[in-house]
Chains A and B, each alone.
Chain A
């Protein structure tokens, strides 16, 4: 098993390197970090030359990349070439905010999705099952950004108007109310509710389908019949013998989803002005700030790779029939 993990980790290093080279090449060849300065009348041509030298932009691209890579690997992520802010703290804060939102979304979806899936499977072809199936199809076909805007419009604007409130029940932007000091749980919840809803609707659609399918499969398994034949109560058969086994495939999916969180909430974060990785990415890419985008890509790709590995290990650990190849 350790050999398997080691091999997977070694395999992932070229993936990281290649993706960073690709991203660097594209950004370098398409955006000019001093474009804004070169348009400004307050900059003289010699100032521009000096600025380029200061930022190291006059050196060959390969050298720039290697010096960035050396710094990154040794933990010195440097300052942003655009905003001059240190990169590491910004990314750390953004990552924390994104993980909060992402885990809220996955957590809520897990509870609701598993519930719907199990109930659908136990009452296959019932009215509930058909409605859940239809709803899941709608959830999978929803354009995230449109749904997010509709949520803002209906829950943020209309409901507030109908109820005649001065403050909306749930806020449509940001993570906290500006000016609120310290940690105010209620304020936080009123901010996180809507983006979580947007994330959850899609994830619930996936999880409920997954859970339904694996539950249906487990319900036909021989060991369930054995349990019933032994005289185990139906409730216990369903929960202990059925649900616990049916959860195994979903565990893998959840691990993969958590891995995708770091770089995967771009649209939701942009629309709700959530100060996370997605917002950071859109801002940095607009400015051509490779000093932020490159570490950003490294972090998100690492997340995907690590959680892919975790998913595989979990799967094999939870289901003793699976062996590493």
Chain B
């Protein structure tokens, strides 16, 4: 019986990659047959589950996102509702996070502000990730003058101090009172470079691999090779890059709003709430505490999540991921 099983495994072993075999070896105490049937996705999920901080972060992020989306259910107040009986009051049972100088409920405003911050963060990361992936794949796959041109453009974008470009771009929008969508466009324009470099690097190394050569010798078109053979193998680092970009985008949006160049009041965002709180820094410090802590909490959770996803999706990078 046992011998039969061993032979069976050996037969199957031909089909599984070295990585799966290595994973199987680690999990020696589990029934080996079960390990054999695990897909790459299941393996990644198991690696991710080991990362306790990432799991906790995912739960917190989910809670924050839900609370922000369901803000009008979670809170009894409107974000612009004035309570003239309770101007500039500290946290209490009626107002968990206190009220601002106009008597607006800080908790409600933090929830609504979260909508903007999360919307901007996620949308910017996704769209910048898409642009970066396209530019990086084209540059890395085709090489030559196209690669040179695209990388010089990337260098140009990287050479100008980041906030400067953003401030100048949002001044261009100042006449029209920038909406969150304007801010998303502006941020996206200056967020794709890191992803483009990562993807270019991946394509440079992957296109030399044997499986690409095999596909090409079978007559696969460039498009087929890029989308079906290289891109799926580059997906891990791309997803990790996008995740980490969410944190960076949230931080940048809040900084931009804080400097007064982002989404304008009365629409609350964590950044412009802090900008208003700055004037009451000693009189109403709670106005400073809560939006800031929410930015910190969100960015921290996204970073932990990204770290966990790197361990799960990009195991080769682990050594440098510890960096």
Contact with B along A257-301 (1 / 0, CB 8 A): 000101110110010000000000110010000000000010011
Residues in chain A within 8 A of chain B (CB atoms):
11-12, 14-15, 18-19, 23, 26-27, 29-31, 137-138, 140-147, 149-150, 152-153, 157, 209-210, 212-214, 216-217, 260, 262-264, 266-267, 270, 281-282, 285, 297, 300-301, 304-305, 308
Instruction: List the A side residues contacting B79 at CB < 8 Å.
Output: none
Cross-chain contact B164 with A143 (CB below 8 angstroms) = no
* Minimal beta-carbon separation of A248 from chain B (angstroms): 14
22 cross-chain CB contacts under 8 A: A12-B159, A26-B171, A26-B172, A27-B171, A137-B304, A137-B307, A141-B296, A141-B302, A141-B303, A145-B259, A147-B292, A153-B285, A153-B288, A212-B322, A212-B323, A213-B322, A260-B161, A264-B161, A267-B259, A281-B167, A285-B171, A300-B160
Tell me the complex Cα distance, A29–B171, Å. 10
Determine the main DSSP class of A at the interface with B: helix
Instruction: List the B side residues contacting A140 at CB < 8 Å.
Output: 299, 303
Cross-chain contact A301 with B171 (CB below 8 angstroms) = no
Chain A: CB-nearest residue to B292: A146
* Minimal beta-carbon separation of B182 from chain A (angstroms): 13
Instruction: List the B side residues contacting A18 at CB < 8 Å.
Output: 156
Cross-chain contact A137 with B320 (CB below 8 angstroms) = no
Give residues 288-323 of B contacting A (CB, 8 Å). 288, 291-292, 295-296, 299-300, 302-304, 307, 319-320, 322-323
Residues in chain B within 8 A of chain A (CB atoms):
152, 155-156, 158-161, 163-164, 167-169, 171-172, 174-175, 247, 251, 254-255, 258-259, 274, 277-278, 281-282, 285, 288, 291-292, 295-296, 299-300, 302-304, 307, 319-320, 322-323
Instruction: List the A side residues contacting B172 at CB < 8 Å.
Output: 26, 29-30
Instruction: List the A side residues contacting B169 at CB < 8 Å.
Output: 26
Instruction: List the B side residues contacting A137 at CB < 8 Å.
Output: 300, 303-304, 307
Tell me the complex Cα distance, A160–B138, Å. 58
Given contacts A11-B152, A153-B281, A210-B323, whether A143 and B255 have CB atoms under 8 Å apart is: yes
A-B Cβ contacts below 8 A, count: 129
Tell me the complex Cα distance, A147–B300, Å. 14
Cross-chain contact B319 with A149 (CB below 8 angstroms) = no
Cross-chain contact A15 with B156 (CB below 8 angstroms) = yes
Given contacts A143-B296, A153-B281, whether A281 and B164 have CB atoms under 8 Å apart is: yes
Instruction: List the A side residues contacting B302 at CB < 8 Å.
Output: 141
Determine the main DSSP class of B at the interface with A: helix
Cross-chain contact A143 with B320 (CB below 8 angstroms) = no
Cross-chain contact A138 with B168 (CB below 8 angstroms) = no
Chain B: CB-nearest residue to A278: B163
Tell me the complex Cα distance, A217–B69, Å. 44
Tell me the complex Cα distance, A260–B171, Å. 22
Instruction: List the A side residues contacting B281 at CB < 8 Å.
Output: 149, 152-153, 157
Given contacts A23-B168, A140-B303, whether A146 and B295 have CB atoms under 8 Å apart is: yes
Given contacts A153-B288, A213-B320, A213-B323, whether A27 and B168 have CB atoms under 8 Å apart is: yes
Tell me the complex Cα distance, A146–B300, Å. 14
- Interface residue from B159, B255, B259 paired with A282 (Cβ < 8 Å): B259
Tell me the complex Cα distance, A227–B205, Å. 34
* Minimal beta-carbon separation of A55 from chain B (angstroms): 20
Cross-chain contact A30 with B282 (CB below 8 angstroms) = no
Question: 12 additional contacts, CB 8 Å, given A282-B167, A282-B259?
Answer: A18-B156, A30-B174, A141-B251, A141-B296, A144-B255, A146-B295, A217-B319, A263-B161, A264-B163, A267-B255, A267-B259, A285-B168
- Interface residue from B161, B288, B322 paired with A216 (Cβ < 8 Å): B322
Tell me the complex Cα distance, A30–B323, Å. 43
Which of B160, B161, B295 gathers the greatest number of chain A CB atoms within 10 Å?
A: B161
Cross-chain contact A146 with B288 (CB below 8 angstroms) = yes
- Interface residue from A12, A146, A304 paired with B296 (Cβ < 8 Å): A146
Instruction: List the B side residues contacting A145 at CB < 8 Å.
Output: 254-255, 258-259, 274
Tell me the complex Cα distance, A12–B159, Å. 10
Instruction: List the B side residues contacting A157 at CB < 8 Å.
Output: 281-282
* Minimal beta-carbon separation of B123 from chain A (angstroms): 19
Cross-chain contact B163 with A267 (CB below 8 angstroms) = yes
Chain A: CB-nearest residue to B247: A141
- Interface residue from B163, B168, B278, B291 paired with A26 (Cβ < 8 Å): B168
Cross-chain contact B160 with A19 (CB below 8 angstroms) = yes
Given contacts A26-B171, A143-B255, A146-B274, whether A301 and B285 have CB atoms under 8 Å apart is: no
* Minimal beta-carbon separation of B110 from chain A (angstroms): 13
Which of A23, A143, A144, A297 gathers the greatest number of chain B CB atoms within 10 Å?
A: A143
* Minimal beta-carbon separation of A324 from chain B (angstroms): 17
Cross-chain contact B156 with A141 (CB below 8 angstroms) = no
Instruction: List the B side residues contacting A27 at CB < 8 Å.
Output: 168, 171
Instruction: List the B side residues contacting A270 at CB < 8 Å.
Output: 259
* Minimal beta-carbon separation of A122 from chain B (angstroms): 14
Which of B288, B303, B322 gathers the greatest number of chain A CB atoms within 10 Å?
A: B322
